């Protein structure tokens, strides 16, 4: 608790409403934490929630014993935050660029977004940036990591996922505590996604649930297919933005390229039997593309590292650290 108070004071010392809301939001999460064992034991805890918390306890121990992930106090408590998302991230890019506006912080370094604990604060920031001419996207986040600086709780917002995805996120967030490179969001998210992927496969094999991995792998493959479409569109957009065309012509071609991408992805999801509505709703812009490829940009590279290590996690972490140093 003393360390948290120091964090709050340090954040406030940096001045500004942004740091104040971040400190307050983190304080609220900490205040609501309860040991998972206590939550499970309470008579008023719904049986479904108790069962899922027990599942997470098993996965947490598996992460330590089999995946070499940190053995600390993270994800050993539960916090009911009474809302759908814990934070809302705001992404922004210039009108004719795919380079996100970055924000730099003492712990996380520079990242390609700003997170807010209140949706209204995020909305106001998005409106402020839009008024300055930026392309803007706002999205809710159900879980995040403090990189081991604090004891992160399991959040009620995480319970919206199925069991496999819930465990996958646990592995993903713990992976950030193993390796995190300040200022390189793409590297960090690709690494954590790789650990998640390898961990889920081993977890489900351990439980004799290989059939569940088939569905998880199909979701991962579908994500890759969409990212391939996005990457192709990004290249077209980058070529357009680098051209000598007048602004109005660029604006028209940008709109057409993004609309075509939106239709392609939505149709692909529909054919795969998935919900296309997230891609049908709203107009696509540069900022909405930013988070789409962060999680997989370097995933093939990490998969190759894992194969080269004969699927041994400590070797993989060592190789990834060396890659980060280079």
Tokens read off for 125 = 């920031």
Among 13-22, 89-98, 309-318, the least confident range: 13-22
How many Å apart are CA 145 and CA 86, to the nearest integer?
11
Top-confidence residue, 84 or 1? 84
Tokens read off for 218 = 């199909």
Relative orientation angle of helices 299-308 and 313-325, to the nearest 10 degrees: 130
Query: Does residue 241 contact residue 96 with C-beta atoms inside 8 Å?
Result: yes
* pLDDT score of 106: 64
- If you ran DSSP here, which 8-state letter would residue 138 be given? E
Residue spans per domain, the chain: 1-32
Answer yes or no: is pLDDT of 289 > 50: yes
Q: Which of these, 53, 50, 49, lies nearest to 76 by C-alpha position?
A: 53
CA–CA distances in Å: residue 76 to residues 55, 57, 260: 12, 7, 45
Residue 298: half-sphere exposure toward Cβ, Cα within 13 Å: 16
Predicted TM-score of the model (pTM): 0.86
Q: What angle do CA 111, 17, 110 make, to 5 degrees?
A: 10
Q: Which of these, 273, 302, 278, 306, lies nearest to 291 by C-alpha position?
A: 278
* pLDDT score of 8: 40
Question: What value does the mean pLDDT take over residues 209-220?
Answer: 90
In the chain, the percentage of residues whose pLDDT exceeds 70 is 94
CA–CA distances in Å: residue 84 to residues 87, 139, 279: 9, 12, 20
Spacing of C-alpha 290 from chain mean position: 12
Residue 64: half-sphere exposure toward Cβ, Cα within 13 Å: 12
Tens of pLDDT, residues 60-95: 999 999 999 999 999 999 999 999 999 999 999 999
Tokens read off for 126 = 């998005």
* pLDDT score of 108: 63
List beta partners, residue 135.
Answer: 93
Torsion on CA atoms 200, 202, 207, 211, rounded to nearest 10:
70
Tens of pLDDT, residues 96-105: 999 998 877 7
Answer yes or no: is pLDDT of 17 > 50: yes
Spacing of C-alpha 200 from chain mean position: 16
């Amino acid at each position: 608790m003393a360390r948290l108070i120091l964090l709050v004071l340090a954040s406030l010392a940096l001045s500004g409403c942004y740091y104040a809301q971040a400190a307050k939001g983190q304080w609220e999460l900490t205040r609501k934490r309860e040991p998972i064992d206590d939550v499970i034991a309470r008579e008023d805890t719904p049986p479904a929630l108790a069962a899922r918390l027990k599942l997470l306890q098993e996965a947490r121990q598996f992460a330590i014993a089999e995946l070499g992930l940190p053995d600390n106090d993270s994800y050993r408590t539960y916090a009911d935050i009474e809302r759908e998302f814990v934070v809302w991230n705001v992404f922004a890019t210039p009108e004719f660029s795919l380079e996100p506006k970055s924000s730099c912080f003492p712990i996380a370094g520079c990242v390609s977004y700003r997170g807010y604990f209140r949706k209204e604060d995020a909305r106001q920031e998005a409106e402020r940036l839009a008024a300055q001419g930026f392309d803007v996207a706002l999205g809710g986040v159900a879980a995040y990591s403090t990189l081991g600086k604090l004891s992160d709780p399991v959040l009620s917002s995480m319970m919206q996922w199925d069991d496999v995805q819930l465990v996958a996120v646990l592995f993903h967030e713990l992976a950030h505590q193993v390796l995190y490179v300040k200022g390189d969001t793409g590297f960090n998210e690709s690494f954590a996604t790789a650990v998640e992927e390898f961990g889920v496969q081993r977890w489900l094999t351990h439980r004799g649930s290989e059939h569940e991995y088939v569905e998880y792998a199909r979701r991962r493959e579908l994500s890759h297919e969409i990212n391939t479409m996005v990457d192709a569109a990004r290249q077209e957009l980058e070529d357009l933005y680098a051209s000598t065309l007048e602004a109005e012509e660029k604006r028209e071609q940008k709109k057409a390229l993004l609309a075509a991408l939106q239709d392609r992805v939505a149709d692909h999801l529909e054919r795969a039997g998935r919900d296309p509505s997230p891609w049908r709703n709203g107009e696509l812009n540069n900022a909405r593309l930013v988070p789409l490829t962060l999680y997989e940009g370097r995933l093939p590279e990490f998969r190759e590292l894992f194969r080269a290590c004969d699927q041994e996690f400590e070797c993989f972490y060592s190789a990834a650290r060396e890659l980060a140093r280079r």
